[in-house]
């Protein structure tokens, strides 16, 4: 695989993860524990959709096969998606949702911070713009993890259970692959091990403040979103998200 293919592959990973996480957050519409929280969740989701559009428009230009960013989102099957396994998992209760969001935000923040110095000027520009939003996302999700973990006995117990459910899906946040290693060698992205180290440091600090314990076992999972091998959750999510486009191909408002 050459660098051109590596680049489109990596851009798909960024764009797909943002789309799927945004879609999960929007599932809280009408179901959030408070009106203010519902608005906040929707705003974060909209931020992610906007970021995904920037990444996927760039991807579409590089692919140059006639597909637009919208078609990349709504006309690909789950095996063609490259999102993190973490973001496709169901929302669960509010504790699970916020812990998932925090893990993703911490990874996203450090990835974008590094991408600001990318040798690819367009990637650097997109990252710099997205980082302003993701800085807020991380601050918000960190605060919720601390409030719930160090809150009531009920909220603490729910966070402990959420950590047990979510931790294994962080495996992709703590490891890279050959695509990322080649891009790092070319100066396009940061070394995966550096991002993993920064992510774990942020997670450890916030979990400690939340009176939660970082699991001693390293996360592991037999599937890989990077390779298009997803859990069954993604197919259900895409079936709902892509329904209108599949039912009415190329329809426009």
93-144, pLDDT tens digit by residue?
Answer: 999 999 999 999 999 999 999 999 999 999 999 999 999 999 999 999 999 9
pLDDT at 247 exceeding the cut of 50: yes
How confident is the model at residue 1, as a pLDDT? 43
CATH H-level, domain 3-247: superfamily: Ferritin, core subunit, four-helix bundle (1.20.1260.10)
Burial zone of 135 (CB within 10 Å; 0-12 exposed, 13-18 middle, 19+ buried): middle
Specify whether the CB–CB gap between 110 and 198 falls below 8 A.
yes
- Tens digit of pLDDT for each residue in 153-206? 999 999 999 999 999 999 999 999 999 999 999 999 999 999 999 999 999 999
How confident is the model at residue 219, as a pLDDT? 84
How confident is the model at residue 253, as a pLDDT? 64
How confident is the model at residue 4, as a pLDDT? 55
**Stretch 59-85: mean pLDDT, rounded?**
95
Q: Is 224 helix (H, G, I), strand (E, B) or coil?
A: strand
Q: Is 253 helix (H, G, I), strand (E, B) or coil?
A: coil
pLDDT band for position 252 (cuts 50, 70, 90): confident
Residue with tokens 């180290």: 197
* N- to C-terminal Cα separation, the chain: 39
How confident is the model at residue 217, as a pLDDT? 80
Whole-structure pTM over 0.75, yes or no? yes
Q: Which of 247, 206, 232, 221 is nearest to 88 (CA)?
A: 232
User: Which two three-digit tokens encode residue 41?
Assistant: 């969740």
Rounded to 10 deg, the angle between the 121-149 and 94-115 helix axes is 150
**Stretch 11-20: mean pLDDT, rounded?**
98
Q: Where are the domains of the chain?
A: 3-247
Q: Using CA atoms in the order 65, 114, 166, 231, what is the torsion angle rounded to 10 degrees?
A: 20
């Amino acid at each position: 695989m050459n660098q051109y293919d590596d680049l489109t592959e990596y851009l798909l990973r960024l764009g797909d993860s943002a789309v799927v996480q945004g879609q999960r957050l929007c599932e809280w519409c009408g179901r959030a524990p408070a009106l203010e929280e519902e608005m906040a969740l929707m705003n974060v989701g909209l931020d992610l959709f906007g970021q995904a559009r920037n990444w996927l428009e760039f991807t579409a230009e590089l692919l140059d096969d006639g597909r637009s960013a919208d078609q990349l989102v709504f006309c690909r099957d789950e095996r063609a998606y490259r999102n993190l396994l973490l973001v496709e998992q169901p929302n669960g209760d509010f504790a699970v949702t916020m812990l998932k969001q925090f893990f993703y935000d911490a990874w996203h923040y450090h990835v974008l911070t590094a991408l600001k110095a990318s040798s690819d000027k367009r990637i650097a520009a997109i990252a710099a713009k997205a980082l302003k939003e993701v800085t807020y996302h991380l601050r918000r999700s960190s605060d919720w993890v601390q409030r719930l973990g160090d809150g009531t006995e009920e909220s603490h117990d729910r966070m402990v259970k959420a950590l047990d459910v979510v931790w294994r899906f962080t495996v992709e946040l703590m490891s890279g692959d050959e695509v990322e290693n080649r891009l790092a060698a070319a100066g396009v992205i940061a070394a995966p091990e550096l991002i993993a180290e920064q992510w774990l440091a942020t997670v450890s600090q916030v979990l400690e403040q939340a009176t939660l314990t970082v699991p001693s076992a390293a996360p592991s999972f037999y599937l890989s979103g990077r390779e298009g091998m997803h859990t069954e959750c993604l197919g259900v999510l895409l079936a709902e998200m892509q329904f209108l486009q599949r039912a009415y191909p190329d329809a426009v408002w």
